[in-house]
Amino acid sequence: MTTLSASPPSSAGPGARAWRALMRACGAVSGLMFVAITALVCADVLFRNIGLGSIQWGLEVTEYLLMTATFLGAPYLLYLGEHIRVDIVVQSVSPAVRRVLDVGADVFGFAVCALLCWESIKVLLDTKAQGGMVFKVLIFPEWWLTIPMTLSVTLMAVEFLRRLRFALTTREA
C-alpha cells in the first residue's frame, strides 16, 4: 500500500533533479545554520566563563540564524514528507479516505502558502520602498528579514502543488 502522505517520488527529468537539488540545498543550509547557532552559543558561553566577555553580536546573529534555518528547513521537510501531520488519524482510515485527506491537506497547504507568499512579497516590497533599517548591533535594511519567509512559503507552495499533482495522477495501490 502506498501512502500519499510521504513525498511523491521524483522523476528522472532535469526539472525534478533540479528541484531535488534545491530541496537538499535548503536542508543542508538549514542544518549548517543550526550547527552555527550551536557553535556560536557554545563560544559565547566559553568566552564569558574564561573572562573574555560576551560576543556582542552573538545573540542577534543567533536570532536571525534561527529564523532563517527554520524557514529554509520547512520546504525540505515537506519535500521529505516529514512535516507535521496527525499520523494517528491518517493510519486509522481507509485508503480512499486517506487519499481525500491527503488531497485536502495539499490543497489547504497550497492555499495557505500561496496567501503567505503573496502577503510576504507585499511586505518585502513595502519595507524595501520605505527604506527602513534595522539598528541593533548589526545594521542592515529591514526588508532583508522578509526574504527567508518569502522564499520558504514560495517553495512550499510549489511543493504542495507537486504533491497535489502526484496525488491526483496516482492510483492508490
What whole-number distance in Å separates Cα of residue 80 and Cα of residue 51?
44
What whole-number distance in Å separates Cα of residue 60 and Cα of residue 92?
45
Tell me the three cell numbers of residue 30. 538549514
Each residue's pLDDT tens digit, 133-151: 999 999 999 999 999 999 9
Per-residue pLDDT at 19 exceeds 60: yes
Per-residue pLDDT at 10 exceeds 70: no
pTM above 0.75, yes or no: yes
Contact 68, 33 (CB under 8 A): yes
Tell me the three cell numbers of residue 121. 512579497
**Long-range CB contacts (< 8 A, 24+ apart) of 5-14?**
5/81, 5/85, 5/87, 5/90, 5/98, 5/102, 6/81, 7/78, 7/79, 7/80, 7/81, 7/163, 8/162, 8/163, 8/165, 8/166, 8/167, 8/170, 9/166
Contact 141, 152 (CB under 8 A): no
Q: What percent of the chain has pLDDT over 70?
A: 90
From the centroid of its chain, how far is CA 25?
12
Confidence at 168, pLDDT banded by 50, 70, 90 = confident
Each residue's pLDDT tens digit, 57-81: 999 999 999 999 999 999 999 999 8
The amino acid that residue 137 corresponds to is: V
Confidence at 116, pLDDT banded by 50, 70, 90 = very high
117 against 14, higher pLDDT? 117
93 against 74, higher pLDDT? 74
Nearest partner of 165 among 7, 19, 1, 22, judged by Cα: 7
What whole-number distance in Å separates Cα of residue 9 and Cα of residue 79?
10
